[in-house]
Structure 1
């Protein structure tokens, strides 16, 4: 019970702080939505114009995890999506995105890892990496 309460507080605090500071630019190349047409599994990192350090860390961990574990697999693509851009509004609506989020999706199904990502990224990034790999492989096997 206490663990759930603490997790809820962490998620709320992260959500509040996400709108407080401007993030730096990611140094890694990001695939565009149009480049992902052939992929079976899409790993989305959604964000707005303003991002907190936790949000930036989530993107870095997830993006690096996909690159390290699925680099040779064209069926898996990482996509960074600014949900505040009107061009991405349909995609954000499809996955019910309201703030920084991690979604792993196929054409027919998806899972939202946002709560777990915020809970793990600062104190257990290896746990987040393991979760992303496990969930991505689950979608590849479908």
Structure 2
């Protein structure tokens, strides 16, 4: 019964995230934004293996949950790690050709929240979308695991 409920909830979430809504949602292109507007955004062409990256991948259409997960992740990294150079939040618009390498590297086909350091990475998308309020704790656990 729990599995059926989980599958129905997952299908609903995926459908709502990908629906062709006419509502316009502003997306951020890290290459076009200034550091003053989003100090945690970074344009990453070659990842530094000593840095923990929190990547938030997204397309141009985003549901409320997608926006909530991004906001929670961005705020968590800023609050927990501030200006530490060892941890960086990176917003990655998947429809931007400049991000093709990262999208392919992590096999992203939808929105995704990935914590990575070098070759060690974990995709916490399902957990984050199931519990947007718990994103901060999830990120802290995964980032700390990679910092130590």
TM value normalised by structure 2: 0.81
47-56 or 7-16: bigger deviation:
7-16
Give the Cα separation in 2 of the matches to 1:137 and 1:7. 29
8 Å Cα contact 2:27/2:60 also seen in 1: no
Give the Cα separation in 1 of the matches to 2:136 and 2:92. 20
16-25 or 90-99: bigger deviation:
16-25
The residue that corresponds to 1:10 in the other structure is 9
Give the Cα separation in 2 of the matches to 1:25 and 1:93. 20
The residue that corresponds to 1:96 in the other structure is 107
Q: Does 1:133 align with 2:140?
A: yes
Where in structure 2 are there 5+ consecutive unaligned residues?
A: 29-36
More helix by share: 1
Aligned-pair CA distance for 1:69: 0.1
Q: Where in structure 2 are the equivalents of 1:1-142 lying within 5 Å?
A: 2=2, 4-20=3-19, 21=21, 22-25=24-27, 29=38, 30-34=40-44, 38=48, 40-121=51-132, 125=133, 127-141=134-148
Aligned-pair CA distance for 1:132: 0.9
Q: Which has the larger radius of gyration?
A: 2
Aligned residues: 135
32-41 or 55-64: bigger deviation:
32-41
